[in-house]
Structure 1
Amino acid sequence: MSYFRSVALGAAMSLAGVAGAAAQEVQERTMTLGHVVAEQFPYHTSAMFMKEKMAEETDGKWTLEVHPSGAMGGERDALDALLLGTMDFTWVHTAAMASFVPSFELFNMPFVFHSPEHIEEALSTLDFSKFYEEADAAGFKLIGIGSPAFRYPMNNIRPIETAADFEDIKMRTMGVSAHIDTYEALGSQVASTSFAELYGALQTGTVDGNENALSALNAMRFNEVQEYLTLLPTVANIAVLVMSKSTYDAMSAEEQALVDEIGKQTVEKNNSDYASMDAEALEAMKQEGLKVNEIDDLSSFVEATAPVREKYSQDLEPWVRDLMAEIQELPSAK
């Protein structure tokens, strides 16, 4: 798989230094960033990068306090805190963002994107500016859209080759409505098992399968109690770096430019770390005997989940549906 191989071979990311923002234009600030994942994952590693860049580029005038593992609440709590101005930054999954800005439901629908390269091509070549405008109207400063990755299905019943292979497999999903509908459309029975109880449920056969990012599947050792992994781009695992609009609006133009540039680099750091971690996780699970297969023909999966895309897109603005059509016409979607 070229994407993972290229990362595994050590593709380097070059982070340019921040230009502008003379030191005298920068005020002393202590800001907070809360997120829900553990410290080894890219939300946190990129947040720590952001912390370092802020201190470096302001001669220590800016301090970013990073709180991992849900220490400041869940993802919806974090977004509420941004609106209240009691937290300054967060990384959240687009499922949480869609609760506040409905257009982000685009990222939660199945098979809108077909590969990490497809996500990257879409974000780099198409116009996503309306997401930033709608986030602004809802009271957020959207810094960037990142994590070009997927939640891949793993199960104990059979290898997944076509949509029919999901029939009657009891799958545990993230709990996002669009994700649940997706696996039901594919023929699965969706289990409501909590994440904390999932390993035991997979071990005993109460649940047959689950889906998650490769790094999470490996970190939770689910490959010890699962036999088959399919690199099927069912639903994207895209995340957004968001800032409190009240914090951003209170800054000078120079400070805002500094946040924009450091934020851009933070998203790039997150994406690079995500790709590296997923590549390493995939190789580790293969080495431990997990049976992994890729899908060359997505047509049966795309056809089976068409009603899900129709259901969730019909209530969205026409521009979102137009953008989805553009995404699916990109060369990397073929």
Structure 2
Amino acid sequence: MPTKNRLFGAALAALALLPTGAFAQATTLKWAHVYETSEPFHTESLWAAEEIKKRTEGRYEIQVFPASQLGKEADINQGLTLGTVDIIISGSSFAAREYPPIGVTYYPYIFRNPEHLLAYTKSDVFKRLAAGYEEASGHHIAAVTYYGTRHTTANKDIRTCADLQGVKMRVPDVPAYLAMPRACGANTAPIAFAEVYLALQNGTVEAQENPLTTIEAKKFFEVQKYIVLTGHITDHLNTVISQTRWASLSDADKQIFTDVMQEAAARATKIVQEREAALVQTFKDRGLTVTEVDKADFEKTVKEKSPLESYGYVQADYDAIRAIQ
């Protein structure tokens, strides 16, 4: 055999030993969220992106876009349908725009604590509500992360629900988030998340509500001197894959994406819980006033003035979630 042919044959033999798809170009996916780069929702998304790349032998290259780089939360939810994003992290409050019943988890005081929320994510009622969302929107919820328990910050002390009467309060433009502030008589304003610090600083609003970890990450404590432990919503985030992307995955890849995203959610949840536990003392050490409130007073007022049926939620779903141990 001539030397040239022998070399060609050797090259073909070497190629045959390479993994299937070695020369195939990786599929690039966009993963978007509105959270800061310091927050675990971002750091663990980066981990998940690398882990998916590793477990699929480089067939998927996932770019993670934090801090509203691809738009506000409403924009990235719409992006799932428009095809501008493949994966997002977003609350069930936004999923409820497509399927209202899933928003019941944001009705104030439905969860007793974070452990109750996490038990819900493993329950049949969660599977049913997630399936309802997927049927309505086409998009798939792959994992759930504990976001934190939502509390209130203000430029004055708040001890009862009535103390919020007339207070200008930034609340996301989502029905469930509005239930507690409006029941207590606050004047709510739907300012974009990225603009909340400035709005608090210049007095456009006098209060806002978010988990302690977000109050820390967004530095709201610099412009609000009162931390009010209203604990009105035990918040969570869904990792959602677009309909077209989910449909394009093989069953094996669907399992890889699900496993990794659920591992990332568990990692982020652990970080949030650990940070949250330490922050009350951290805020006190910074000279802020941290106030415990009578949650029963808030819950009673919400039930009377903002009944869950008025938000399109189903009493049977609420009861089923409350019954979870």
| TM-score (norm: length of structure 2) | 0.82
Matches within 5 A, 1:284-295: 284-295=282-293
Residue identity matched to 1:304: T
Residue identity matched to 1:249: A
Q: Is the 8 A contact 1:229 1:292 kept in 2?
A: yes
Matched with 1:300 is 297
Matches within 5 A, 1:13-28: 28=26
**Over residues 279-313 of structure 1, what are the superposed CA-to-partner deviations in whole Å (9 max), with x where a residue is unaligned?**
45444322201121334x52211110013233435
Structure 1 distance, partners of 2:29, 2:189, is 39
Q: Does 1:219 align with 2:213?
A: no
Q: Is the 8 A contact 1:105 1:312 kept in 2?
A: no
Structure 2 distance, partners of 1:191, 1:136, is 30
Q: Is the 8 A contact 1:109 1:312 kept in 2?
A: no
**Runs of at least 5 residues in structure 1 that lack an aligned partner in the other structure:** 1-22
Structure 2 distance, partners of 1:76, 1:206, is 22
Q: Is the 8 A contact 2:141 2:238 kept in 1?
A: yes
Question: What is the deviation of 1:244?
Answer: 1.4
Relative to structure 1, is the Cα distance of residues 24 and 279 closer, same or farther in structure 2, using a 3 angstrom cutoff? farther
Greater mean alpha carbon deviation, residues 304-313 or residues 151-160: 304-313
Structure 1 distance, partners of 2:192, 2:71, is 17
SS of the equivalent of 2:268 reads helix
Residue identity matched to 2:112: H
User: Identity over the aligned pairs, expressed in percent?
Assistant: 24
SS of the equivalent of 1:238 reads strand
SS of the equivalent of 1:33 reads strand
Question: What is the deviation of 1:252?
Answer: 1.7
Structure 1 distance, partners of 2:133, 2:185, is 35
Matched with 1:93 is 91
Matched with 1:18 is none
Q: Is the 8 A contact 2:157 2:228 kept in 1?
A: no
Matched with 1:155 is 154
Residue identity matched to 1:324: Y
**Over residues 77-135 of structure 1, what are the superposed CA-to-partner deviations in whole Å (9 max), with x where a residue is unaligned?**
22233224442211012222111222222123222123223312332345311122123
Matched with 1:146 is 145
Relative to structure 1, is the Cα distance of residues 81 and 191 closer, same or farther in structure 2, using a 3 angstrom cutoff? closer
Q: Is the 8 A contact 2:33 2:67 kept in 1?
A: yes
Relative to structure 1, is the Cα distance of residues 118 and 293 closer, same or farther in structure 2, using a 3 angstrom cutoff? farther
Give the root-mean-square deviation of aligned CA atoms. Answer: 2.7
Relative to structure 1, is the Cα distance of residues 53 and 282 closer, same or farther in structure 2, using a 3 angstrom cutoff? farther
Structure 2 distance, partners of 1:66, 1:129, is 27
SS of the equivalent of 2:76 reads helix
Which of 70, 73, 92 in structure 1 is aligned with 2:71?
73
Matched with 2:183 is 185
**Over residues 217-239 of structure 1, what are the superposed CA-to-partner deviations in whole Å (9 max), with x where a residue is unaligned?**
12333223323212222123321
Structure 1 distance, partners of 2:220, 2:300, is 29
Question: What is the deviation of 1:278?
Answer: 3.1
Matches within 5 A, 1:261-272: 261-272=259-270
Relative to structure 1, is the Cα distance of residues 263 and 304 closer, same or farther in structure 2, using a 3 angstrom cutoff? same
Q: Is the 8 A contact 1:34 1:87 kept in 2?
A: yes
Matched with 1:275 is 273
Question: What is the deviation of 1:187?
Answer: 2.6
Greater mean alpha carbon deviation, residues 23-32 or residues 37-46: 23-32
Structure 1 distance, partners of 2:216, 2:146, is 17
**Runs of at least 5 residues in structure 2 that lack an aligned partner in the other structure:** 1-18
Relative to structure 1, is the Cα distance of residues 84 and 219 closer, same or farther in structure 2, using a 3 angstrom cutoff? closer
Aligned residues: 303
Question: What is the deviation of 1:206?
Answer: 5.2
Relative to structure 1, is the Cα distance of residues 198 and 134 closer, same or farther in structure 2, using a 3 angstrom cutoff? closer
